[in-house]
Every structure is written in C-alpha cells, then in structure tokens.
Structure 1
Amino acid sequence: MDLDAYVAEHGGQWRRLEELCKRRHLDAADVDELVVLYQRATTQLSALRSRSPDPALVNQLSQLVLRARARLTGRSRPSWAAVTRFLLVGFPGAVYRAWPWWCGVATAFSLLSFFLIWFVANNPDTAGAFIGEQAAAELVDSGFAGYYTEFSAPTFAFHLWTHNAWIAAQCLASGVLIVPVFYLLWENALNIGVVGGVMTSYGRADVFFGLITPHGLLELTGVFVAAGVGLKTAWAWIAPPAELSRGQAVARAGRSAILVAVGLVGLFAVSAFVEAFITPAPVPIALRVACGAAVWLAFLAYVLILGHRATSTPHPTQPTPVDHEVDGVFDLPGRR
C-alpha cells in the first residue's frame, strides 16, 4: 500500500469526520454525513490494519473512529435529572402498571394470614405442633417484644434492610418460575399466622398488632410489589401480547422488574428505619401505628399519583445522542 497516496486520498474525509466530532450541535444533514464518514473510516481502518506498517497512523485513525462512535451513540453521564426521572417517572410508573398483580397478592396474603391467625388462636394445640409449648410461652412473655430491642437500632435497621431487600430480590428474580414466589409468600404468611395466633390465644393480640403494624404496612407492601412484579414477568412468558414475541415480552417485563428492584431498596430502607426506631419507641401504640400508617399512605399516594401520571403522559422527546460533545484532536501525518 502506498501510504502517502492513501492518506492524500482519504485525509480530507478524516479531517471532516474530526470536525463533525468536535461540533457541539449537529443538524440532520450533519448527522447523516457523520454516519457515512464513520462507516467509511471504519472500512479504511480495517484496510490499514491489514496492510499498513505504520502503527502511528493506525492508532490515530482508531481514536477517530472511537470518537465518532461515541458521538453517534452518546456517552452516558450521571446526572440528577436521571435520578429525578427515575423517582418521578420510572419507579412509580413500573409499580403502577403492575398494580393488579401486587394488589391481588396483597389480598390473598392478607386473607391467608388472618385465617392462620384465627385458626392457631382457636386451636392452641397447633401452636405446640409448630413451635412447642415452652417456646410459645416464651414468645408471649418476652420473645416477641424483645425481638425489636435485642440489638442496637442502627444494627437492627441494617439487618432488616438487607433481609427484606433479599426477599424482594428473590421474588423478582424467581418470578418467572412462579413456584418460588408462592413458597416465599407462604413462609411469611405462615410465620405471621403462627406468631399472631399464639399471641392472640394468650390474650396479647394488642401487643402483636401494636408492634407489627407500624412497619408491617410498608414492609409487606414492598414484598407484595416484588411478588406481583415477579408474577407479572411469568405471565409475560405464559401469555405475551400479540404484538410481541415471548422473548420480547419477558425482556420488557424484566426491565420493569429492574426499575422496581432499585426502587424497593429505598422503600425497605424506610421500613427498616420505622421498625428499628419507631416500632419499639416508648410511646403510645396509637402514635406508633399512626406514624407507620402515614408513611404507608404516603407511599401509596406516591405510586398512585405519579404512577398514573407517568403511564398516561407521553414521555418527552429525548435528546439526540449526537448532541453530546466529544473532545479530541486527530492529527494527520504532515498536518500543521
């Protein structure tokens, strides 16, 4: 290959490509030209790599091609705007779209839990079968209330946060398999049913509901959302929309599940704070329950108002990726 002749033939295109890469804003004609020149430079780079012994020229053209690719695809830059959009549109919209699923899970879970509480409370022998008579007596005397004060509040909050987030992650990740979600829900409903039934049978229902309600409203809602979104992903696999293939439907549901998973990290942080600091606080039960209910209602309002707005309002036009600035200088051999 005659290197000088090759550079003379294509150098003008490379300089033009570099100029377009350095422009802050491009109109439609500039974008079309950038695409054409990028494709040509890619082909020319391939030819140089296979035939040219000049590593400096190959390296310079490689850098130009990379800058042109970045100019076309855009470079992600973390910004508060992205965080704000996630909080105001992404997360509430994903939760709102799945409301029939998690509301259905919440209804079934609540009915099952209250049935188990009633059954255990009216059949004391079952408590002994589940946890033993001595353990039941210890649970009523001090075990249940002591659970909330056994560790320091910050340590307890961190443990609760990671534990609940892990349960939600399991529901979301295994949702497409269906059975693991039902198993996790059954485990939690059984735990609430047995403990609540034992406390009720010993006349301590006020203590049980007074301690579990402040944080349980928000915490369980987070679990319901995770389970509902996980089951929605499974349904996308079982019965995808007519306009989508099965893989496309699952991919779309999976993207929503990721948004929900990230948002639930924050929800469980709040519920952990409530459980560690408010649930065991030495204040009247009514005040603790009121605090927990206020946080829970605030979350529901957040999802219903912002989620409805996110799903009913068209998304604003996103900026064209090529509007991002790309810096760099391409120095051709012999250029001054």
Structure 2
Amino acid sequence: MITTKWLQTRSLYWKRLEQMLERAAGNGIKRLTRAELRELGALYRQTAADLSALRVDGGSQQYAASLNSLLARAHNVLYSSTRPRATAVIEFYASTYPKIFRRNFGFFAAAFLLFAVAAIAFALVTSFHPEFQNYVLGPEMVDTIQRREMWTHSIVAVKPLASSGIMTNNLSVSFMAFAAGITAGVGTVYMMLTNGMLFGVISAACVTAGMGRQLFSFVAPHGVLELPAIFIAAGAGFRIAAALLFPHLMRRKTALRYAGQDAIRMMLGCIPLLILAGIVEGFVSPSGLPEAAKYAAGATLLAGLVMWLGLGWKADKGESEASNGIQILP
C-alpha cells in the first residue's frame, strides 16, 4: 500500500521533473546542459518506476493519472529532437552506443561465455573422440578437412557475391539470436551453444588434420568483428528475456517496452559491424596475404572495436556520481 511518506518523498522528484520540462519548453532539450540532460533522464526513469507502483495501488489512481500525463510530456521533450539526421546518427554511434553497450555488458558477457564454454567443451570431445565430428559436420565436410582442403577457397572466385551472401547470413543469425530472446532467452541460449559447438568441432577437426594455421588465419581478420556482433545481438535477446522474467517493480509490459528500446539500439551497433565483417571475410580472409598480415589486420580491427566501445568510459563514473541523488528508489 502506498503511504503518505512515500508520496511526499516522490513528489519532490515529480516537481523537479515538471520544473525541467517547463525550462525545456519551446526550444526543447537544446536549452538544457549536459548535466541537466542526465538529470532529466534519471528523473524520467524514476517517475516511470513510480507510475508502475501507483498503478497497482487501488487508492492511488488519481496520482497515477497525473503522473502519466507528466511522463507523456517528458517523453515528448526527450524524443522529439529536431537535430539534423546525419548529426544525430554520428552522435549515436560516437557517444550513445558505447554507453548502451557498457550498460548491458553483462548480457554480452553471458552470450560470450555460453559460446566459449560450448566451443571448448566440444573441441575437447572431438579431440578425444574424432568420430563425433561426423555427426556434427557430416561425412562430406569431414572428408574435405581430412584431405587438408580449405572449403573457404571458393569465396575467392566470387568475392562480391560471396561478401553479400556472408553479410546476409550473419545478419540473419544475429537477428535470430535477438528475436529468440522473446522465448525467455531459451532460444538465444540454444543458438549460442550450437554455434559454439560448431566452432569448437571445426577447430578441433582442422587442428587434428594439420590445418589449424589455415583456419585461424582465415578467421582472424573478420572473426574479431563478426563474433562480438553476434554476441551483442544475443545480449540484446537476453535483455528482452531479463525484462520478461524479472520486471521488478514495473508491469511486465512496461519493462518489456523499456528493454525493447534498449535492445533495438544494441542491435543498431551490430549492423555496421557485420557489414564490415562481411566485406573483410569476402575480400581479405580468403586472400593470399601472409598469415602474419591477416593476424595483424585482425588485431587492428579488434583494437579499433575495443577503443570504440570504450569511448567515454572514464566519464561513466562521473555521470553515475552526478545522478546519485536521483536514483530509482524501491
């Protein structure tokens, strides 16, 4: 049951949000400083959580209606920016996206760990029981590996077509991993485990056949972009699953709406990564470049990815401290 003390405490935040909306009237968020924008975002999230609590209390419906109207005004101010499209896109990828990734890093890490555990486990199984590869790869693929022939050489003859096909396939896998989150994460877990298993079995089979160097030098240039992109997509799926299973104080529908916004923005970062990975896989990975050059290309791309996703990480702590007084309260 909502108490008078609870309402008095929360009303201070609601009044502050209303003051900021009045300040932003007319020119919108352009009139607000960066610190005020952070405060506005925190107040918006606080008020949304409060509204969810009021809606489940039968005696607080008048407060809920008022708060719903306040949130609608805040939403219009936050999401009706008139900035030029190109500028908004650049700012999203340069500043906003790295923060979204770091905020949801735990979901990314979960996808990576599932893939890695499956890859290591099935690589060991294949190493100790070589016959297992037949069940996973099929006799034709196993025969190709045992003849020490790289199946990837066929890409070289049709580079543009291959690059397009690779991008389409990777995008399909990523969107499937993302969409599978609506199954409470079961589908996403399955995809990470099966893809990890496939990678582990192929790796062990190639190493056993003496083709480890060829395989890993092929994977290195594009894999450093392709695999993280797929893990991010799976992480977005887990973000949806977490809201579905653990909505906390919010209604499940509300929690899913917020999670969906976050997850879709996570997916927006996968698209350029997968496009670039497809180009590299179609033109660089199967080329006749020395192995050292391919590993160097992979290391360079990985360093660039880490630098991009780490942009502004030093400011995260400062932003967190700045909003300590406006944290979402239980």
TM-score (norm 2): 0.67
| 8 Å Cα contact 2:177/2:237 also seen in 1 | yes
For residues 5-24 of structure 1, the aligned pairs below 5 Å read none
Q: Which residue of 1 aligns with 2:207?
A: 200
For residues 142-221 of structure 1, the aligned pairs below 5 Å read 142-149=149-156, 151-177=157-183, 178-221=185-228
Q: For the structure 1 residues 293 and 145, does the alpha-carbon distance in structure 2 shift closer, same or farther, using more than 3 Å as the test? A: same
Q: Which residue of 2 aligns with 1:18?
A: none
| 8 Å Cα contact 1:95/1:307 also seen in 2 | no
* Corresponding residue to 2:136 among 99, 105, 130: 130
Offset of residue 108 of structure 1: 2.7
What is the one-letter code of the residue matched to 1:246? R
Structure 1 Cα separation of the partners of residues 283 and 226 of structure 2: 14
For residues 52-91 of structure 1, the aligned pairs below 5 Å read 78-91=84-97
| 8 Å Cα contact 2:114/2:193 also seen in 1 | no
Q: For the structure 1 residues 199 and 220, does the alpha-carbon distance in structure 2 shift closer, same or farther, using more than 3 Å as the test? A: same
Q: For the structure 1 residues 86 and 147, does the alpha-carbon distance in structure 2 shift closer, same or farther, using more than 3 Å as the test? A: same
What is the one-letter code of the residue matched to 2:142? A
Offset of residue 238 of structure 1: 1.4
| 8 Å Cα contact 2:100/2:262 also seen in 1 | yes
For residues 41-120 of structure 1, the aligned pairs below 5 Å read 78-120=84-126
Structure 2 Cα separation of the partners of residues 148 and 110 of structure 1: 27
Aligned-partner SS, 1:194 = helix
| 8 Å Cα contact 1:213/1:292 also seen in 2 | yes
Offset of residue 175 of structure 1: 0.9
Offset of residue 254 of structure 1: 0.5
* Corresponding residue to 2:295 among 260, 268, 289: 289
Q: For the structure 1 residues 266 and 132, does the alpha-carbon distance in structure 2 shift closer, same or farther, using more than 3 Å as the test? A: closer
Aligned-partner SS, 1:190 = helix
Offset of residue 118 of structure 1: 2.4
Bigger Rg, structure 1 or 2 = 1
Offset of residue 206 of structure 1: 1.4
For residues 23-34 of structure 1, the aligned pairs below 5 Å read none
Structure 1 Cα separation of the partners of residues 235 and 296 of structure 2: 27
| 8 Å Cα contact 1:91/1:260 also seen in 2 | yes
Q: For the structure 1 residues 176 and 130, does the alpha-carbon distance in structure 2 shift closer, same or farther, using more than 3 Å as the test? A: closer
Q: Deviations over 1:31-59 (max 9, x none)?
A: 7xxxxxxxxxxxxxxxxxxxxxxxxxxxx
Give the total of aligned pairs: 246
Q: For the structure 1 residues 245 and 270, does the alpha-carbon distance in structure 2 shift closer, same or farther, using more than 3 Å as the test? A: same
Q: Deviations over 1:146-177 (max 9, x none)?
A: 2542x522221111112111211122222131
Which moves more between the two structures, 83-92 or 125-134? 125-134
Q: Which runs of 5+ in 1 are unaligned?
A: 1-26, 32-69, 315-336
For residues 251-330 of structure 1, the aligned pairs below 5 Å read 251-306=257-312, 309=315, 313=319
Structure 2 Cα separation of the partners of residues 169 and 240 of structure 1: 23
Offset of residue 77 of structure 1: 6.5
Q: Deviations over 1:219-278 (max 9, x none)?
A: 011111111121122112211243x33222211111011112222111111111221122
RMSD: 2.8
Offset of residue 186 of structure 1: 2.4
Aligned-partner SS, 1:124 = coil
| 8 Å Cα contact 2:181/2:236 also seen in 1 | yes
Task: Tell which has more relative contact order, 1 or 2 (C-alpha 8 A, sep 6+).
Answer: 1
- 1:225 paired with 2:232, answer yes
| 8 Å Cα contact 1:215/1:271 also seen in 2 | yes
Structure 1 Cα separation of the partners of residues 161 and 317 of structure 2: 38
Structure 2 Cα separation of the partners of residues 199 and 86 of structure 1: 41
Q: For the structure 1 residues 254 and 110, does the alpha-carbon distance in structure 2 shift closer, same or farther, using more than 3 Å as the test? A: same
Offset of residue 104 of structure 1: 2.4
Offset of residue 107 of structure 1: 2.3
TM-score (norm 1): 0.65
Structure 2 Cα separation of the partners of residues 111 and 76 of structure 1: 46
Offset of residue 291 of structure 1: 0.7
| 8 Å Cα contact 1:279/1:288 also seen in 2 | yes
